[in-house]
Amino acid sequence: MPRTRAARLKQLFTKAAATEHGEDELSRWCQQAREAVLQAACTLQYDSAVYSGAQLGVTLRPEPFNRRQQQRSRFDGQVEEADDNAPSRRLIPVTTEELNGHLKREEESSTAAARPMRHPYKQLPLTGAIQSMMPMFRRSDSFGRIEIPDEFGYYPEAATEHSKNDGWLPYNKEYAVNSNGEVTGFYMPDKKLASAEQIKDDAEAWKTSFARDQRANFIQNHDHDCTGTCVKYEKKKNATEPLQRAGQKLAGPGVPKCRFRFFRYVALQIQGILKYVVRRGKELVKQAFIATGNEENEYGKATVPRQSPFRSSSADVLQSTLRCNADYQYQKRAVPDLNMKANAEYQYQMRAEAEHQRKMAAEANM
C-alpha cells in the first residue's frame, strides 16, 4: 500500500476509535476500496470466456461444456440421492463441440472428399487455427472493412489466407491528422473522411470481433483437464505405482487433489450429519466478491465471475493478442465486508485446501 494511502487509513482508524461518527467514515472508505478493487479485477482477470462480451454488450454463445466434464463435475441437474433432503444439483447444459479452426476445416474437407482426416500434428498445416491468425480487427488499416468472425470465432477460409489488401489504405494513412499531429478523424478505404455513423459502425464491428475472438482463444487455450502435472507432488501409495507423465490425462472415477485447485467441496446432509464430498471443477461464481477466508492467503482478494468449472484464469486482451496459454492473477486486495460471514461450506473448503497444501509441501521437502 502506498505510504500516502497507509497514512490516510491510519488516520481513519484513529478517528474511528476516538469519535462517535469516525467508524462510519472508515466503513465508507473500506466500501469504496472494495468497489474499486472489484471493478479493476473484473476488467483485468477473467475466469470466464464470455464475461468480456457481457461487458461490451455483445451476446456470446455459452462456454463449451462436454458430457465428460458434466459427469466429472456433477453439474448435471440430477437429484443428490445421498443427501437427506434430495436437492437437485446445479445444471450446466452440454453444448456442441467446438474444434479449432484448422481441425474444423479438415473435418469438412475430408467429409466432402470421402477420405480420412490427416494427422493433426504430423500432416495438417495450422492455417485457420485460432492461435496462428492475425484477425483483421487488430489492424488499423482495416478501418471500415472489418471481417467479423461467426459466433464460434471462425473466419471464412478466404479470410485466413494471405490477401493482396486491394483497396486498403497504406499504414497510418487511415488517420485524419491536423497540423499539430492530433488525430481528428478516420479515412474510409475509398479515401473519403468517415462520417460519425461510419465510425460507429466500425466500433460495433470491432467490439463484436474482439468479443468473439477472445472467446475462441479462451476455450482453446484455457480449458483445464487434470494431467500428471497437477499431482506431480502427490506421494505415491506404493512403490510399484507407475509415474504419471507431465501431459498424461488422469483417468478413473476419483477426484485428484489438483495443485491448481480445480476441485471443490460440496456439503451433504447424510443421516442428519453434515458431511463434505470432493467434486471435480471449481465452484461457479455469479457475482464478484472479496474473499473472507485466510487459509490460503486469499483474504481480501477479488474473486471474479466464473461460468465454467474448468476455465483457468487469463485476460481478454492477453488472449486476443498473445493467443496462447497466458495466466493472469489480479493481486491487489481490499478489506472484506466483515458483516458478510463466509458460509460453512466455503470455510471448510479453505481449511481442507490449506491442509492439503501443507501436506504436499512437507512431502516435497522430505
> Taking 60 as the threshold, does the pLDDT of residue 343 lie above it?
no
Q: Is residue 12, in this structure, part of any structural domain at all?
A: yes
Does a structural domain hold residue 356? no
End-to-end CA distance of the chain: 37
* Per-position DSSP letters for 120-185, written without gaps between them: TTTT---TT-GGG---GGG-GGGTT------TTS---GGGGS----TTPPPTTTTEEE-TTS-EEE
Per the structure, the complete domain to which residue 235 belongs is given by 225-253
pLDDT reading at 101 higher than 80 = yes
Question: Does 219 map to a domain?
Answer: no
Of residues 53 and 349, the one with the higher pLDDT is: 53
Residue 14 located in a structural domain: yes
| Mean pLDDT within 29-56 | 94
Q: Which of 1-10, 63-72, 76-85, 239-248 has the lowest mean pLDDT?
A: 239-248
pLDDT tens, residue by residue, 202-219: 999 999 999 999 999 999
Residue 75's φ and ψ, nearest 5 degrees, are -85, 65
Max avg pLDDT among 1-5, 168-172, 250-254, 332-336: 332-336
In a domain, 312, yes or no: no
Asked whether residue 7 is domain-assigned, the answer is yes
Q: What percent of the chain is predicted at pLDDT more than 90?
A: 54
**In 243-282, beta strands by DSSP E:** 263-270, 273-280
Angle at 229 between CA 325 and CA 65, to 5 degrees: 55
Residue at 2 is within a domain: yes
Contact 50, 215 (CB under 8 A): yes
Question: Could you give the number of structural domains in the chain?
Answer: 2
The model's pLDDT over 227-286, given as tens digits with 9 standing for 90+, comes to 888 887 766 655 445 555 545 566 656 777 788 889 888 989 999 998 889 899 999 999
94 falls within a domain: no
Q: What is the pLDDT of residue 231?
A: 80
Residue 163 has pLDDT above 60, yes or no: no
Q: What pLDDT was estimated at residue 360?
A: 61
